[in-house]
Amino acid sequence: MLTAIIVGMAFSVLRLVQKQMGGIEGIYEVKLEANKLRQSLWLDFNHYSNVHYDAKKEMISFSNELGTKQYKLLENQMVVERDTFEIQLETAVFYFNNAKIFNGEIDAIEIKTTKEAGNQQIFVYKDNAADTYINR
């Protein structure tokens, strides 16, 4: 009888530990996805010389002499060529020369995720080259 009680308690504790580990794993995956998106944006902001946001298409376009790359903003994901970042966006704010813009050339982006995605904030920027101002 005592053995049955101890085994029952052990399984209850094991179930609680497994539930806690599942929660920790979910939080880790959400943070990992946001960090991968941050890294991808940072690399592209610093690799491409021209960055534009098209509000109608909800698309960020990166370009330089060697090629182009586009990010499509969706409610629960951001699609980049063959990659998809599963992240729930609450807001995305675009900047050029420290001023918020709603369409056109950008040099920074601030993304906030939803509560379900951990209320994370991603801010990525680039230094503008002289030709950015000459071409304006």
pLDDT, mean of residues 56-69: 93
Q: In the chain, pLDDT over 70 holds for what percent of residues?
A: 90
Sign of the four-CA dihedral 115, 116, 120, 123:
negative
What tokens appear for 77 in the block? 């994901």
Q: Which residues contact 80 (CB under 8 A, 6 or more apart)?
A: 40, 69, 70, 71, 72
Q: What is the pLDDT of residue 1?
A: 73
Q: How many Cβ atoms sit within 10 Å of the Cβ of residue 71?
A: 22
pLDDT for residue 103 is more than 70 = yes
CA nearest to 41, candidates 2, 100, 7, 87: 87
Instruction: Evaluate whether 85 touches 33 at the Cβ level (below 8 Å).
Output: yes
Q: Encode 72-96: b = buried (16+ Cβ within 10 Å), e = exposed.
A: ebeeebbebeeeebebbbeeeebbb
CA separation for the pair 14, 78 (Å, rounded): 37
Domain boundaries, the chain: 2-134
Q: What is the pLDDT of residue 107?
A: 93
